[in-house]
Amino acid sequence: MHIPDGFLSAPVWGAFDVLALPALGIAARRAQRGLDERNVPLLGVMGAFVFAAQMINFPVGPGTSGHLVGAALLAIALGPAAASVVMTSILAIQALVFQDGGILSLGANIFNMAIAGVLAGYLPYRLLAHAHRASAIFLGGVLSVLVSAAFAFAELAASGVPMPRRLLLLSMGFFLVGALVEGAITLAAVGAMERLNPHWLRAPEQKTSPALRWIAAAALLLAVAGILIASRYPDGIEHLAAPSAPAWLHAPLAGYRVHGIESPWLRRSLAGAAGLILIYGACLFAGRLISRRSA
């Protein structure tokens, strides 16, 4: 889902870099209304959990994989404004530290997943949860992926990336499968959170419960051990084109690996653990900054 550098033309990535800034400013302002110091740690824990889950690719077709986006999950747990801030923090760390998604195309990735994906994931929950909550959560997960993918395909097409019809339809089919899996995972994750704390989505002041420790432990388990079962196949976007990023954009933990260590598992596990710390810190910093301005 992350678009690397070299895929988008300068006018396209430049336009989305400019567009993402005011969109994030609006999200940060709206997040001030419902955020205080008591639930700031939730932003860090949820950000770390989604980052860890995104590290694990699962097969969605022959030679193709997908991974959790987490936009709907964040939107339901945090609200859409705070979710956009957390997702942006994740995307920025992934681009700068792990070379997962480009730096020049960061604005496009933020718009696709942190803005459009979050809103698409939250809208069904907002409109339909009172009628059939489980269906609303599942649909939110599905739409968050489909909308993000649709914008990514549109940006690639506008940049002149060759997309043969057969390959395009195949990639779209893979994203549909991934979207259905996203919906199922989102529904299961929300259900697990509410079993840990029945007041999770109804009382913000109770979100600093021991449930946070369980979510943090799950994030650590995913980052350190989950990579053992992760698929090595590329995702649908990478099937369309595969230019390499410019050398000057090389990140310190590119490919989610700590270089200089022989064990492949240890390389990825240490990188995953480092990512959890960085994401938690970035989300905590952003949350405290927003909550202090609100106060």
How many Å apart are CA 170 and CA 131, to the nearest integer? 34
pTM: predicted TM-score of the whole model, two decimal places: 0.89
- What CA dihedral angle connects 208, 79, 187 and 86, to 10 degrees? -80
- Whether residue 16 has pLDDT greater than 80: yes
User: Mean pLDDT over residues 32-58, rounded?
Assistant: 85
Higher pLDDT, 37 or 112: 112
Reported confidence tier of residue 247, pLDDT bands at 50, 70, 90: very low
Which residues make beta-bridge pairs with 37? none
How many Å apart are CA 222 and CA 55, to the nearest integer? 8
Name the E strands within 34-78: 57-61, 64-67
Reported confidence tier of residue 230, pLDDT bands at 50, 70, 90: low
Domain boundaries, the chain: 10-294
User: Are the C-beta atoms of residues 17 and 5 closer than 8 Å to each other?
Assistant: no
Reported confidence tier of residue 208, pLDDT bands at 50, 70, 90: low
Give the count of beta carbons closer than 10 Å to the beta carbon of residue 34.
14
SS3 55: coil
pLDDT value for 292? 76
Which parts of 111-164 fold into alpha helices (H)? 118-128, 133-158
How many Å apart are CA 65 and CA 58, to the nearest integer? 5
**Summary mean pLDDT of the chain:** 84
Determine which of 15-29, 76-90, 211-225, 267-281 has the lowest per-residue pLDDT on average. 211-225
Higher pLDDT, 249 or 66: 66
- Whether residue 200 has pLDDT greater than 70: no
Reported confidence tier of residue 233, pLDDT bands at 50, 70, 90: low
CATH code given to domain 10-294: 1.10.1760.20
- Whether residue 202 has pLDDT greater than 70: no
pLDDT value for 168? 80
User: Are the C-beta atoms of residues 237 and 3 closer than 8 Å to each other?
Assistant: yes
Determine which of 56-70, 146-160, 203-217 has the lowest per-residue pLDDT on average. 203-217
Query: What tens digit of pLDDT does each residue of 60-82 get?
Result: 666 666 778 999 999 999 999 99
SS3 62: coil
Give the count of beta carbons closer than 10 Å to the beta carbon of residue 38.
13
